[in-house]
Chain A
Amino acid sequence: MKSNIFLNSKDVFLDVVNHKDYVQLDRVSTIYQSLKDSVKKPLKMVLLYGKPGTGKSMFLTKLYSDLSSLQKVYLYQTPILDESEFYKKLAFDLFQEEHTSELNFTQFMSILNQHVTNEIPLVLLDEAQLYSNILMEKIRLLSDTRKIKFVITLHKTEKEDLIAKEHFQTRIWESIELENASSAELKIYIQKKLMKANCFDSANMFQNKNINLIYKITNGNYRDTNKLLYTLFDIYAWYEQNNPAKISLNQVSNKIIEMSAIHTGLLDA
């Protein structure tokens, strides 16, 4: 039974992007609301950027989930790197036109001009830093037609900053930056996530000193925190099964946190 607690808790931190796992934190909620408002505005493009693991994909998924019942919204979580495939996919999703042969930019523009709709479709492109520069330039031209609205996410690295500068600086009317969680936010994040899955016992095991150590190791990065806690509960489950005397159920052991960090590569042993 106890093992189930740890196993259930472990599953909570599986690194998957699911809008149901979205944890409402004050700052994150404000940013999300800001994103929703931006989408309603007559903007050509919205840029969502931040370091890896700050929750961009989760935001995009959540936005898709929230808006899909209200308007035409399309989410491309995996980048379509081939240009022709990208246009064909857009043509099919937006206008239900299936093209078996090659489709180039000019052809797609003509398709776009043929369809006059009152509602501007919203296309959500995740991991946009993987698109080629040429394709990014064409996406920019598409957004200039004001017949498609794009929300794209970018990793905030030096290279991606450059891309953002070159392609979107003058085009984007709104850019939203996502940051790592603070220590307090991280505590809420962990506990809310566990409580959402009814893992109240394990949620109560986290003390401030544990959170501080986790924050120190992960620097408040959500993805790293998920990885760390997944391993943590995996180790707890192992101890529970093999050597239960070595663990306390009242408080998370910093030793096991560090062991998890070593296992996940967050600490160099």
Chain B
Amino acid sequence: MLNVIELENRWKTYKIKSFIPHAIIAASVLLISVVGYSFLQSKESNQVSSQKNVVSETIDVSTHTQNETKTETAVVQETKTKPTIVENQEPLAQKIPLETPRDASADAKMKLAPSLSFIHEMNSNIPYYQNTEASQATSDAQNLYQSQEQTQEEVIEEENEEKIVQAEEVKSVKIERKNTHDDILQVIERFKKSNDPALSLFVAKKYYELEDYHKSYNYALITNELNNNIEASWIIFAKSLVKLNEKEMALKTLRQYIEHSGSNQAKLLLEEIRNGKFK
């Protein structure tokens, strides 16, 4: 005899039982997807935090670079007008850290620049150059930034002074040297934009000629990193090392290069360094 009520209860039990595997599968899929999603999220957040680090570094470097560019521009302007104006750069350097941080899009743009490490390296060089070249900074530049009116007045004064100085010291070596530095600075700027190893090689050569062996060494190294097949960069590099009293390192570098390229010029230089002809 049928007991339909009991049968209904058994049917409910059967239904629950038959749903259990589906529920387990669904729960497993849900769990896996949640775990997978959280894993991906954590991975992405790690990537974002590392990117943030990179960006913050880039900000430092880019700010520095911007400062540098501004200082250089100031130097160029000032050297063009009057040698003494270069002295105004120290206040400029003080002013720059007060600048507000650049926006994120600008940072992103800077981040994509491939030559930041070199620029960063150059940043350490140029202040040195500025300090040496423009060690007598005065309050003129401060005025330049404090008020535009004052700056304009200063410019007028400076122009007058420049005329006087140029008239008095037109034949002095110092002025010629500053012009050479102007050229170098312009080339450095172009190099920053283009990353052309030919430009950095030119800078290295110029600094070598100016007997600034630290910088010639640096730019030769930069050139070599951009393109290690340029013979001249190796030669300048080795010569700068000799001048910096790193003769052994110069010899070692030349030997490695000769081994790699068989360059005759490098061989000749090696011999000269060995013989003491090149000091």
Interface residues of B in 7-52 (CB under 8 A from A): 7-8, 10-11, 13-15, 17
Range, interface on chain B:
10 to 19
Chain A contacts for B17, CB-based, 8 A: 269
Least Cβ–Cβ distance between A158 and chain B, in angstroms? 31
Please measure, in the bound complex, the distance between the C-alpha atom of A268 and the C-alpha atom of B15, giving whole angstroms: 11
Chain B residues closer than 8 Å to A93, beta-carbon distance: none
Interface string of A252-269 (1 = CB under 8 A from B): 000100110011000111
- A179 CB–B CB distance under 8 Å: no
B4 close to A258 (CB less than 8 A): no
Interface residues on A, range: 10 to 19
| CB nearest to A258 among chain B residues | B11
A92 an interface residue at 8 Å Cβ cutoff? no
B271 → chain A closest CB, angstroms: 95
Q: Pick the interface stretch among A53-61, A98-106, A188-196, A232-240.
A: A232-240
Contact of A262 with B2 in the complex, beta carbons under 8 Å: no
Q: How distant is the Cα of A238 from the Cα of B6 in the complex, in angstroms?
A: 13
Docked complex Cα distance between A262 and B8 (Å): 10
Q: How far is the CA of A235 from the CA of B8 in the complex (A)?
A: 11
CA distance A248 to B8 in the complex (A): 16
CA distance A170 to B222 in the complex (A): 97
Whole-angstrom distance between the alpha carbons of A242 and B5 in the complex?
11
Contact B11–A255 (Cβ < 8 Å): yes
Q: How far is the CB of B107 from chain A (nearest CB, A)?
A: 63
Q: What are the 5 tightest A-B residue pairs by CB atom distance, in nearest-first order?
A: A269-B14, A269-B10, A259-B11, A259-B7, A238-B4
Q: Which residue on B lies nearest to A239, using beta carbons? A: B4
**B7 near A235: Cβ-Cβ < 8 Å:** yes
Which chain A positions have C-beta within 8 A of B11? 255, 258-259, 262, 269
Q: How far, in whole Å, are A262 and B13 apart by their CA atoms in the complex?
A: 11
Known A-B contacts A235-B7, A259-B8, A263-B7; the reply to A269 vs B13 at CB < 8 A is yes
Question: In the complex, what residues of B have CB within 8 A of residue A268's CB?
Answer: 14
* B135 smallest CB distance to A (angstroms): 96
Within 8 A of A (CB), among B224-239: none
CB pair A235–B10 under 8 Å, yes or no, is no
Chain A residue nearest in CB terms to B8? A259
State the CA gap A255–B13 with chains docked (Å): 12
> By the criterion CB–CB under 8 Å, are A235 and B2 in contact?
yes
Cβ contacts A221-240/B at 8 Å (1 or 0 each): 00000000001001100110
User: Complex Cα distance A44/B24, Å?
Assistant: 59
User: In whole angstroms, what is the CA distance A267 to B13 when docked?
Assistant: 12
Residues of A within 8 A of B15 (CB): 258
**Which chain A positions have C-beta within 8 A of B13?**
269
- Within the complex, the shortest CB–CB distance from B4 to chain A, in Å, comes to 5
Residue of B nearest to A256 (CB): B11
Contact A234 B2 (CB under 8 A): yes
What is the CB-to-nearest-CB distance from B7 to chain A, in angstroms, rounded to a whole number? 5
